[in-house]
Amino acid sequence: MATTMLHKHRVSVLFSFGRSLYRRINVSQGEFGLQQKCSAYSRPINTLSASEAVAEIKNMPDESRPMPAKKPISKAMKAYLLQAKNYDEFMKKQNTEFQIGRRHLANIMSMDADTMTQEDIDQAIEFLFPSGLYEPRARPMMKSPELIFPPKKAAEFDESGRPYHSLFYTMNPNFYGLLQEAVTEYVNLNKEEDNMIRKRISFNSDMKIILSGSDWLSQEKLSNLLIEQIDDAQYEQFKNVMLRLAEHPLSNKVKDFIMKYRYSLVNEAALAEIPKPSYEKDGRAYVTFKGARRKNAYADVTVHMPGTGKFLINDCDIEYFQDIQSREQITFPLIFTALLGKVDVTATAIQGGTTGQSGAVRFGLAMALRSFVDDKMVERMRLAGLLQVDWRTRERKKPGQPGARRKPTWKAR
């Protein structure tokens, strides 16, 4: 009876503070009642500005409204408030410094500080502090402090120190909440599967999720998403649980849940971006692809449609390439798309050797041909490896050894 009273009491207190607190901590009224379903607790706790929290809590004893007897603030809450205050002050200071820095930078670059975007800042920094460091994060940078310092969680407990989340004492409530949600989904799918078997409904491969083309979020990204530090073992656990769920024969039903924790491997927008052909005065359609590369060679390729299969490479016909393999290379996209003899190809190739130049022309030609074939053929070309830049280059020789990888013959003495 006493606990029920307490619950009622807390709910009334919360409502008396108004909607903002209620909304901010992202806890619904039902969750304060008896703990019925664990999955109800797995909602991630949102971040909040600490100053807001402090102000709100300071304003709590409002005389105009009737208040129950003042409750002592727990030590946990006090510690949190102090921490939040410090964090907020720190961020405020960082933000001021960033704004001043931005103004200085705008002055140096003679730009308008108010309209300066992050992109402009990055360009300016790269111009003023050129760096040859390989790792991008090691290079000089200037970013908004929100992008650099990890976000902090809002208070996870009330003034009396009682946690909101049922998994609070696991230290990682969002992470374990996620696992619990996955398991709940799995159990539900199992029930559905049982039902289907009972009703003799047959399964097909469309009911299972296709995972190819995407990968699990990295440990770092998952940590950021859940606002929790996730260690290696936990990340493994996450992957195992999610994979188990994904391998369920009915996993397509929970596609949205699974795909929330995966990212796409290809840039779909870039794939769909195919230029429209322009037209010459004589009515022939043409498309130019510039800057195709392979090894050290670069090529610009123009394709004219309709044509008679003429090649013009550096003002020479196909005999510009003297070996058969190179000629084979530049006709490969045409044979593949069955456009050999139906288009004219004009190309300029510079630098590099024969293989590099023919490879660059091949890539440029394949990219330009996309405008003259249907979507299905474009996908076929992609699967044939025609639309992928071959970015492999020769590995440099290392000092102290005869080649890139080869070591001198071992001599004992």
Partner 1 sequence: MSSLTKLISTLARVSDTKLALLNHSNVQIISSAKMSQYPKYFIDPTFRNDELNALYETGEVKEKALVPCRAALTEHTSSEFYSSFTRKFINHVMRKGNKQLAREVVEKAFEVIKKTQIQKYHSLPPEKKVDFTIRDPHELFHQAVINVKPIMVLTPIKRGGVRYQVPVPVDDLQATILAYKWFIEASKDKERTVRFYNKLAKEIMDAANNTGRVVKKKLDLHKQCEANRAYAHYRWN
Query: Given the rule CB under 8 A, which residues bind partner 1?
Result: 210, 212-215, 264-266, 268, 323-325, 328-329, 331-332, 335-336, 355, 358-359, 363, 379-380, 382-386, 388-392
Nearer CB in complex with partner 1: 30/213: 213
Nearer CB in complex with partner 1: 261/332: 332
Nearer CB in complex with partner 1: 234/337: 337
What is the nearest approach in angstroms of partner 1 to the Cβ of residue 273? 15
Q: Alpha carbon 312 to chain centroid distance?
A: 42
Q: Alpha carbon 50 to chain centroid distance?
A: 28
On whether the CB atoms of residues 347 and 364 are closer than 8 A, the answer is yes
DSSP label of 43: S
Distance of alpha carbon 176 from alpha carbon 19, whole angstroms: 28
* 244-249-253-254 Cα dihedral, nearest 10 degrees: 0
Q: b/e map of 371-397 (b: 16 or more CB within 10 Å)?
A: bbbeeebbeebeeeebbeeeeeeeeee
What is the nearest approach in angstroms of partner 1 to the Cβ of residue 329? 6
What is the nearest approach in angstroms of partner 1 to the Cβ of residue 363? 8
For 169, the 3-state DSSP assignment is helix
What is the nearest approach in angstroms of partner 1 to the Cβ of residue 379? 7
User: How many Cβ atoms are within 10 Å of 223's Cβ, its own excluded?
Assistant: 19
On whether the CB atoms of residues 326 and 354 are closer than 8 A, the answer is yes
Q: b/e map of 174-192 (b: 16 or more CB within 10 Å)?
A: bbbbbbbbbeebbeebeeb
What is the nearest approach in angstroms of partner 1 to the Cβ of residue 324? 7
Nearer CB in complex with partner 1: 117/205: 205
Nearer CB in complex with partner 1: 79/266: 266
What is the nearest approach in angstroms of partner 1 to the Cβ of residue 367? 12
Nearer CB in complex with partner 1: 146/379: 379
